């Protein structure tokens, strides 16, 4: 009887050990499978992110080539035509009695030529690389301030440093996108641009006192309304690893803040 009970206890003990061993093996292989699956998903995600970044970089390069081509066309072709118009008007001035009209038209042609030159410069990638981001942004703000006829304040703090030509070109185009949105939609009476060099990073803020907008609503409906402004800003910021924050309140204006590391 004692022997039988011992055998039963031994059988139970061995069965328990075997069951625990089997459960441990199952848990081990499940853990290993989940880890391998997670690693695979991570690799797929990284490959997808890498592909999207390469694709976005290619699109930006194509855009830069297109803008550079437009810049040269404006300068060489349309600019020359505007110059010829001005020359012909000078000739006409000596042969007509309507001198005031000709003089006024000459002034308009001169303004057109000046504006074409400014736009050509703003689109020219080589120019941005040559003068650097800060000066290119200052020139762009000077150009648009003549068009919008309200104050554009540009404040710079800290010791300037370069982010490198590629980053600076993308950052400049991003700023152009924001400034263009302010001009087109904000209905503002003032714009403030603050550039702060802080050790190894740049803080940039573009703020207006316009009508503002509902950010959540715009993001939700941007595909439906074919709105690409915010999307372009986010995409360009992503390419240069910049943190972008957009704060807007209806009737209180909008502020776009960027933080970019070297």
Question: Average pLDDT, stretch 65-79?
Answer: 61
* Gap between the Cα atoms of 150 and 58, Å rounded: 37
204 forms beta bridges with 195, 258
Average pLDDT over residues 99-109: 74
pLDDT number for residue 72: 61
What's the pLDDT tens digit per position in 37-47? 777 677 766 66
Tell me the percentage of the chain whose pLDDT exceeds 70. 73
Cα separation, 23 vs 6, in Å, equals 25
| CA 138 to chain CA centroid, nearest Å | 18
Measuring CA to CA, which residue among 68, 87, 86 is closest to residue 76? 68
Sequence-distant (6+) residues with CB within 8 A of 134 are 156, 160, 195
Helix (H), strand (E) at residue 226: none
- Residue 195 has what pLDDT? 96
| Contact yes or no for 78/116 (Cβ under 8 A) | yes
Q: What is the pLDDT of residue 248?
A: 92
Mean pLDDT of the chain: 79
In tens, the pLDDT along 178-234 reads 998 898 889 999 999 999 999 889 999 999 999 998 888 877 776 555 555 777 788
Say how many residues make up the chain.
262
- pLDDT tens sequence across 171-189: 988 998 899 889 888 999 9
CA distance 180 to 73: 22
Query: What distances in angstroms separate CA 141 from CA 153, 165, 174, 247, one per listed residue?
Result: 9, 20, 14, 21
Which of 12-16, 22-26, 78-82 shows the lowest mean pLDDT across its residues? 78-82
Looking at residue 233, its pLDDT comes to 85
Output b/e per residue, 50-89; b: 16+ Cβ within 10 A.
eeeeeeeeeebeeebeebbeebeebbeebbeebeebbeeb
3-state class (DSSP) for residue 9? helix
Which among 4-18, 29-43, 66-80, 142-156 has the top mean pLDDT? 142-156
Residue 49: the pLDDT is 63
What pLDDT score does 159 carry?
92
153 strand-pairing partners:
192
Most confident of 65-69, 164-168, 251-255: 251-255
User: Over 60: is that where the pLDDT of 52 sits?
Assistant: no
3-state secondary structure of 160: coil
Evaluate whether 207 touches 247 at the Cβ level (below 8 Å). no
The answer to whether 186 touches 208, Cβ cutoff 8 Å, is yes
């Amino acid at each position: 009887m004692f022997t039988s009970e011992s055998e039963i206890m031994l059988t139970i003990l061995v069965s328990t050990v075997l069951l625990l061993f089997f459960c441990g093996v199952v848990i081990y292989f499940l853990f290993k499978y989940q880890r391998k699956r997670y690693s695979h998903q991570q690799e797929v995600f990284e490959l997808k992110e890498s592909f999207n970044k390469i694709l976005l970089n290619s699109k930006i390069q194509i855009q830069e080539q297109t803008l550079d081509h437009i810049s040269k066309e404006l300068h060489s072709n349309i600019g020359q035509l505007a110059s010829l118009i001005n020359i012909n008007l000078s000739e006409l001035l000596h042969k007509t009695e309507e001198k005031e009209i000709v003089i006024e038209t000459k002034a308009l042609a001169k303004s057109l030529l000046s504006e074409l030159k400014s736009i050509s410069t703003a689109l020219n990638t080589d120019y941005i690389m040559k003068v650097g981001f800060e000066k290119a942004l200052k020139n762009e703000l000077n150009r648009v301030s003549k068009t919008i006829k309200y104050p554009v304040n540009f404040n710079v703090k800290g010791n300037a440093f370069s982010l490198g030509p590629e980053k600076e070109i993308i950052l400049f185009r991003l700023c152009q996108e924001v400034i263009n949105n302010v001009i087109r939609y904000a209905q503002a009476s003032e714009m403030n641009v603050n550039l702060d060099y802080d050790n190894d990073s740049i803080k940039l803020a573009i703020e207006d006192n316009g009508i503002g907008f509902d950010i959540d609503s715009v993001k939700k409906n941007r595909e439906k309304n074919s709105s690409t402004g915010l999307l372009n800003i986010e995409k360009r910021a992503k390419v240069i690893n910049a943190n972008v924050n957009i704060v807007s309140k209806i009737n209180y204006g909008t502020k776009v803040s960027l933080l970019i590391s070297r």
